Structure 1
Amino acid sequence: MRTSTETWFGRAALMVAHCAGMLDLVALPVWVGTLIGDYKFDPAYAGGLVTLFLISAVLSSILFAPRFNRIPTRPTAAISYALAALAFFGATLTRDFVILAVLHVVAGAATGCGLSQAHGTIGRAANPHRLFAIVGMALGVFAIVFLGATPQVIAAFGGAALFQVFAGVMAVSAIVAWIAFPPASARSADALFSASARLCPAVWFGIAGIACMALTQAMIFSFVQRIGIDRGVGGDAVSGVLIALGVVDLLPAPLAAVLENRLSARAVLLAGPFAQAVLALVICLSSSFAAYAVPTAVFAAVMIFTHTFAFGILSRLDPTSRALAATPAMLMTGAAMGPIMGGILVQTLGYGGLGVAAMIVAFVAMVLFSRVHAAPRAVLAAPPAQA
């Protein structure tokens, strides 16, 4: 089957790969909650297993992203997700912490590699901003299905069902990748002008800014369920808010695609971290259901919208797409640090301290994003390259 990033077969494969690779972004509360509630692990041990997955994914992305232009994307993505499926299937057969830890490391490494292939390929599309928005919308649909169905499946069949669901998601992604994963086409005649050239400073500032936003996302999202319960919202109401969050997450990616040429990317990158921090502060200090539910429902949308614009800018600053292939490292570095930092802050300073920390991280992200626009104006203003 002939596919490319400009055919819907190729785009569908990238959608599936993106959803599988970004599984942690959707599953984090259910993942940790199942390890605590069903497997009876202490919070530190439960969080530690997820952190092992994330750190392994980060290291894998760091390893494979610089080599993105030198390895075949389709078989690499398919094999990576197949290995992740096998690792999660193995997790359904044991409750031993050490074995689960090893399997989480294997699954994380495989997922990080597969997701790097997907994001690097998206970065080499004719319009990376638009294609990243498309796969982001797919993730929103996936989030609704996952958050709506998985808790009921776990309640009916036990905690091992979580890893069965994970294994199924990875297996589907492996099959689809093998059949339809598109090649990474050159976006311009000199797109591979130097596969070993150093990235410009603006790219590194953009990478660090995205990592900061991912840190805030993980700090708050890891405790958003606990905040609601401690504020007296109730378990069923919190579940409803999380489902609403999934529905809202359908909107920011297509909105970012529509507004690509109507909004200043500089303004979006500066406003995104600030809006994220304000929402985090309101969530942490909320004293009523509305004050908790509304910002929680739109919280992840800010990250998705801002990251879509950042993805488009980085694709122009780095025609080789090595930086975009490292997207898992950008996101999962923050995701890995967030639960640990958040736990320390909640334990020592309470939820209010978590909100203040979000404001501090937002300021750092805004400073970093402001440096992205120190790059040549001609590069930032250039239209998306055509294949």
Structure 2
Amino acid sequence: MSGQKFGVAGVTALVIGHFSGMLDLIALPVWVGALVERYGFTPQQAGGLATLFLVGAVCASALVAPRFDRMNQRLAATFGFGVAAAAFLFASTQADFMPLALCHLIAGLSIGVALSMVHGTMGHADNPHRLFAMAGIALGLLAIILLGAIPQLLIIYGGPSLFRVFAGIMTVATISSALLFRNPLKAVEHQRRPFSRATWLTIFGISIMTFNQSMVFSFVEVIGKTRGFSPDHVLAVLVALGFVNFILPSPLAAVLQTRVSATLITQIGPAVQAVLAVIVTSATVFTVWAPAAAVFVSIQIFTHTFAFGRLAKLDPTGRAVAATPAMLMVGAALGPIVGGALGQNLGYSALGVAAVVVGIISIGFFTKAKSA
């Protein structure tokens, strides 16, 4: 299947849908922080609310991805983002745990549906790799804006402003999906067959890599302060990380698309990630720790762009890439729990050891996918 051109309008809807649906990837630290500081929840309760959102997204994506090519993608995306906007708007009027828990679950479920439609449609583009890279650049830009603006809004307007911002972003995604989204052309029926072994192995490889990323990244700030680095220096590294994610991985992935083998990148990516994880969790010298922490997340973004392009080729129906939210968010949901348990009981350097083991497993899946 040669792929489809969606035009400027269609691409705009997909890019907006991507950065709106991937909100958790960039906003999770300020999200959980606001629930603790502004709403008075314990870290466990705040983490539980975020996990409810992520679990909802994973379940919805896993449910709709196999049915992607039989759905009206534009309608499902518009409905999904619209329900999420309403859920976040309602959340901004609540302060108790149970109503907020319900809002988080509903928002997660509806975003899981919408984002699966976005990613599945991206898989039908004439160049899925480049389109995913472009969406990654937009997500990086949004991260810089949100991480700068949300803390200020929380100071001025309090906790509900967080959910109003989220509702506003989902509203923009709803409108752009309704007006600009273009459904992919229907795949030929004989192409709708069970996923190949290579497809499944690639899905497992990227899911495990995402788990590794989440396990270590969730504790970057805590690790920095535990090592005795000043809070200002640690904050500067997080700001630098935002700029690195915007400038480096997605543009580089777009440039290198035809110059480097996707299978080679998926084998090297987890290894580089594991090395950086060891440095981030073990280094006691700031000048060694800071560069590793600043580029850590970008390795995941860079590698996943190549994995996305490969999955789009392996499964032309778009069902495999439609499961992208499930692949990403299952790791995002499990990583912090495992990382917290290891850090609390064995010390944060144990995260580096775990990252090496998990990285080897991820490389194993990607290597098997290459030969499958």
Shorter-chain TM-score bucket reads over 0.9
Structure 1: how far apart are the matches of 2:53 and 2:166? 13
State the partner residue of 1:151: 151
CA deviation map 1:28-70 (0-9, x unaligned): 1111111122222111111111111101100000111111111
State the partner residue of 2:367: 370
Instruction: Give the SS at the match of 2:353.
Output: helix
Instruction: Give the SS at the match of 2:190.
Output: coil
Q: Which aligned pairs between 1:36-115 and structure 2 lie closer than 5 A?
A: 36-115=36-115
2:225 to 224, 229, 250: 229
State the partner residue of 2:198: 202
- Aligned pair 1:318/2:321, yes or no? no
- Aligned pair 1:246/2:227, yes or no? no
State the partner residue of 1:164: 164
Structure 2: how far apart are the matches of 1:153 and 1:213? 33
Instruction: Give the SS at the match of 1:319.
Output: coil
Structure 1: how far apart are the matches of 2:254 and 2:95? 44
Instruction: Give the SS at the match of 1:249.
Output: helix
Inter-CA distance 345–9: structure 2 relative to 1 (3 Å threshold): same
State the shift of 1:229 in Å.
Answer: 2.2
TM-score, normalised by the number of residues in structure 1:
0.92
State the partner residue of 1:288: 285
State the shift of 1:247 in Å.
Answer: 1.0
Q: Given residue 314 of structure 1, which amino acid in structure 2 is its aligned partner?
A: L
State the partner residue of 2:19: 19
State the partner residue of 1:350: 347
Worse-matched range after superposition: 164-173 or 234-243: 234-243
State the shift of 1:198 in Å.
Answer: 0.9
Instruction: Give the SS at the match of 1:193.
Output: helix
State the partner residue of 2:264: 267
Worse-matched range after superposition: 291-300 or 226-235: 226-235
Structure 2: how far apart are the matches of 1:234 and 1:112? 38
Structure 1: how far apart are the matches of 2:227 and 2:199? 41
Q: Given residue 29 of structure 2, which amino acid in structure 1 is its aligned partner?
A: P
State the partner residue of 1:378: none
State the shift of 1:311 in Å.
Answer: 0.8
State the shift of 1:112 in Å.
Answer: 0.5
Inter-CA distance 145–191: structure 2 relative to 1 (3 Å threshold): farther
Inter-CA distance 30–5: structure 2 relative to 1 (3 Å threshold): farther
Inter-CA distance 5–170: structure 2 relative to 1 (3 Å threshold): farther
State the partner residue of 1:126: 126
- Aligned pair 1:302/2:329, yes or no? no
State the partner residue of 1:137: 137
State the partner residue of 1:379: none
Question: Matched residues, percent identical?
Answer: 49
Q: Any gaps of 5 or more consecutive residues in structure 1?
A: 376-387
Let me know the Cα RMSD of the aligned residues.
1.4
Q: In the alignment, is the contact (CA less than 8 A) between 2:30 and 2:151 conserved in 1?
A: yes
State the shift of 1:293 in Å.
Answer: 1.8
Inter-CA distance 153–233: structure 2 relative to 1 (3 Å threshold): farther
Q: Given residue 82 of structure 1, which amino acid in structure 2 is its aligned partner?
A: G
Q: In the alignment, is the contact (CA less than 8 A) between 1:29 and 1:225 conserved in 2?
A: no
Inter-CA distance 236–152: structure 2 relative to 1 (3 Å threshold): farther
Instruction: Give the SS at the match of 1:41.
Output: coil
- Aligned pair 1:278/2:272, yes or no? no
Q: Given residue 118 of structure 2, which amino acid in structure 1 is its aligned partner?
A: A
Instruction: Give the SS at the match of 2:313.
Output: helix
CA deviation map 1:260-311 (0-9, x unaligned): 1111222211110011111111111121322232111111110111001111
Structure 2: how far apart are the matches of 1:17 and 1:5? 17
TM-score, normalised by the number of residues in structure 2:
0.96
Q: Which aligned pairs between 1:177-192 and structure 2 lie closer than 5 A?
A: 177-185=177-185, 191-192=188-189
Q: Any gaps of 5 or more consecutive residues in structure 2?
A: none
Structure 1: how far apart are the matches of 2:180 and 2:239? 31
Structure 1: how far apart are the matches of 2:219 and 2:189? 43
Number of residue-to-residue matches in the alignment: 368
Instruction: Give the SS at the match of 1:198.
Output: coil
Q: Given residue 299 of structure 1, which amino acid in structure 2 is its aligned partner?
A: F
Q: In the alignment, is the contact (CA less than 8 A) between 2:81 and 2:173 conserved in 1?
A: yes
